Structure 1
Amino acid sequence: MEESTVTLSVPGNDLMPGLVGQRDELLRQVEGAFPGAAINVRGNEITIDGDNAETVRRVFDEMVLMLERGLSIDSLTLERAIDMVRADESPSEVLTTEILRTARNKPVRPRSAGQKRYVEAVADGIVTFAIGPAGTGKSWLAVAMAIRAMKADLVDRIVLTRPLVEAGERVGFLPGDLMAKVDPYLRPLYDALFDMLDAEHAQRLLDRGQVEVAPLAFMRGRTLNNSFIILDEAQNTTPEQMKMFLTRVGFGSRVVVTGDISQVDVPDGRSGLEGLESMLTGINGLSFVRLGARDVVRHRIVQDIVEAYDRADSRSVDRPS
């Protein structure tokens, strides 16, 4: 355990309020995260004594960089920053990366080092697979990157698709006409689209066919050029469907495939996502990004639940048969 005294001089006169927060709530949060450290603020200097003093100084250094880059720090942002510093990551590099701004001028950013690697892989590659549990931003960030590509005139069209079999339900047994049947399965993709674009703009793109939201079966027989194509919930494809989808890619297109291999609902259990990494590794322009519990951006309890399941899965694998 490191024990020392370190002093940080905060540049300028504007940053200290953003570092300590209203009524010193951010300062108290840092102290709560490092109970062995005593933190004293006097003027533009922060003095840290005791256990983990150097780690606490790095937290404040990163906070200064985030504030200098225009990021407001709230309790959730600080919690993520502390977790990243403990993992020897740089929150100022991750949390200030902006993908785009929504219609309400809200920035869309990666919220973990894993999410930043994912965004970079999508930007640099042709086909990107994102594998990880729910809540890691796989679909959300893919839609954001698709909209950014369209705004930059890198693609002419966005295609959002999902397989129709989920949670043991078959579309043929659902009531209503085709669109009424498929709508519940595609709704999460619509939600992400309408969260990032104003409703009128999103509807206009849908009406013009510049954004298409359709079940995976509609991809058969097509070649998609100059398109940004997202296959969501890919663990529920069959191997045959996955091959069909990947061979739809045309010139000037980019593809993102997202899935959670622990949530396979294919009737015979044979997921088109399983075994792909070993088969496709080494293909130029194609990459796999693994996301985990540390990339979950929902309530903290979701991260704890994912970690508990991971531990249970690990024990079941290690247990002799």
Structure 2
Amino acid sequence: MPQQRSPLKVHPTLPTQDRFQLHFEDNRLLAALLGEFDSHLVMIEDKLGIEAVAHGNVVMLDGPTGACEVARDVLEGLYSRLEAGGQVSAGDVDGALRHARAGRRAKEAAQAPATSKAPSKDRPGEIATRKRVITARTPAQSAYINALQNCDLVFGTGPAGTGKTYLAVAHAAALLERGETERLILSRPAVEAGERLGFLPGDMREKVDPYLRPLYDALYDVLPPERVQRGMETGVIEIAPLAFMRGRTLSHSVVILDEAQNTTTMQMKMFLTRLGEGSKMIVTGDPSQIDLPPGQTSGLAEATSVLDGVEGIDHIAFTNQDVVRSELAARIVEAYNKAR
């Protein structure tokens, strides 16, 4: 008599496996969704630990139920963006994955016993300019965009590559295009960060330009080149070294202070008190890259502490988990953090 096989035992701690079948009507949009050689689908597989296969206009998802649900939400959300005339890049896929996973964690936390309902984080924030639409790639970026839209003074701090400066410039450019502000003023503490502009050749514009290059790059990425050039010629877009801010009142403007970790306490207080009627200020910096002389307190660190909880002010602190420049950049930041 053949031996009977015992029934399969399901381990209670293993995630439930599932299969999802997604149908997409437009093959042309589906090709853009999946990426060249299905590269976007491969990214989703790698990030979520599932198997994703496309056949015609159908995408099959196999793996843990929760991971498949995240993949489904990401693919359907990005497909809707394509239907609306948008574009999808590898960075957009990565951002959608981060938001979807954060949203799922928030949903699970809200369903847990004795836990207050957590807000959903699965919808990325957006900044629309005439040249392009910038979509948040992490929940922290979405929170940052929300703060920029609702507060008159926003601090964005964290490591390089988190988008804090780029999003600040994009938001300011969008306000300028919509006529919601009259000027855009960009500043950095180049003079007091160990460099002396007086020893550099050229006029003040030529001396300051190298220090403000990241701000220029962001401007040209979100505005047409002729708009940037015309704005600089007419003073609508102004480059102002921090040292030249003293005594000014900045009204009806968006003022961005970059590399603010290299301000002194007095410089930061001076800058913040320039805020005039109808203006917004955005202050960005990386507290881990302070170039001030030893023993000197960073004005950025003090300001975020002193102004914590003040109405109309928000502070978004990015971490290495929010680095979107590249995965290698994120690993470099994490390695340096561990080495401290």
TM-score, with length taken from structure 2: 0.80
Structure 1 SS opposite 2:251: coil
2:285 maps to what in 1?
259
Q: CA deviation at 1:144?
A: 1.1
Do the aligned residues in 2 keep the contact of 1:66 with 1:92 (CA within 8 Å)? no
Is 2:15 aligned against 1:2?
Answer: yes
Do the aligned residues in 1 keep the contact of 2:22 with 2:72 (CA within 8 Å)? no
2:66 maps to what in 1?
54
Instruction: State the structure with more CA Rg.
Output: 2
Q: Per the alignment, do residues 21 and 299 of structure 1 end up closer, same or farther by CA in structure 2, a change over 3 Å counting?
A: closer
Identity over aligned pairs, percent: 41
Do the aligned residues in 2 keep the contact of 1:8 with 1:57 (CA within 8 Å)? no
Q: CA deviation at 1:298?
A: 1.2
Q: One-letter code of the match for 1:279?
A: V
Count of aligned pairs: 307
Is 2:156 aligned against 1:130?
Answer: yes
Match of 2:123 among 90, 93, 104: 93
d(CA) in 2 for partners of 1:307, 1:253: 36
Match of 1:195 among 196, 203, 221: 221
Q: What does the per-residue CA deviation read over 1:27-57, in whole Å, with 9 as the maximum and x for residues that have no partner?
A: 344334445x44455666544444x233123
Q: Per the alignment, do residues 307 and 99 of structure 1 end up closer, same or farther by CA in structure 2, a change over 3 Å counting?
A: farther
Match of 1:64 among 65, 70, 76: 76
2:245 maps to what in 1?
219
**Structure 1 range deviating more: 296-305 or 237-246:** 296-305
d(CA) in 2 for partners of 1:10, 1:29: 20
Q: Per the alignment, do residues 109 and 77 of structure 1 end up closer, same or farther by CA in structure 2, a change over 3 Å counting?
A: closer
Q: CA deviation at 1:275?
A: 2.4
Is 2:241 aligned against 1:241?
Answer: no
Q: One-letter code of the match for 1:185?
A: Y
Q: One-letter code of the match for 1:75?
A: A
Q: Per the alignment, do residues 294 and 187 of structure 1 end up closer, same or farther by CA in structure 2, a change over 3 Å counting?
A: same
Is 2:127 aligned against 1:121?
Answer: no
Do the aligned residues in 1 keep the contact of 2:153 with 2:313 (CA within 8 Å)? yes
1:318 maps to what in 2?
none
Higher relative contact order (CA 8 A, sep 6+): 1
Do the aligned residues in 1 keep the contact of 2:99 with 2:124 (CA within 8 Å)? no
Q: What does the per-residue CA deviation read over 1:230-282, in whole Å, with 9 as the maximum and x for residues that have no partner?
A: 11111111100111111111110101011111111123432111122221122
Q: CA deviation at 1:289?
A: 0.7
**Structure 1 range deviating more: 120-129 or 167-176:** 167-176
d(CA) in 2 for partners of 1:76, 1:182: 32
TM-score, with length taken from structure 1: 0.85
Match of 2:175 among 149, 161, 174: 149
Q: What does the per-residue CA deviation read over 1:38-96, in whole Å, with 9 as the maximum and x for residues that have no partner?
A: 4455666544444x23312321222112211234334343334334444446886217x
d(CA) in 2 for partners of 1:94, 1:298: 17
Q: Per the alignment, do residues 58 and 225 of structure 1 end up closer, same or farther by CA in structure 2, a change over 3 Å counting?
A: same
d(CA) in 1 for partners of 2:31, 2:207: 53
2:336 maps to what in 1?
309
Structure 2: stretches of 5+ with no match in the other structure = 1-13, 105-119
Q: One-letter code of the match for 2:68?
A: V
Match of 2:256 among 218, 227, 230: 230
Do the aligned residues in 2 keep the contact of 1:128 with 1:255 (CA within 8 Å)? yes
Q: Per the alignment, do residues 170 and 207 of structure 1 end up closer, same or farther by CA in structure 2, a change over 3 Å counting?
A: same
Do the aligned residues in 1 keep the contact of 2:96 with 2:124 (CA within 8 Å)? no
Structure 1: stretches of 5+ with no match in the other structure = 314-321
d(CA) in 2 for partners of 1:199, 1:41: 40
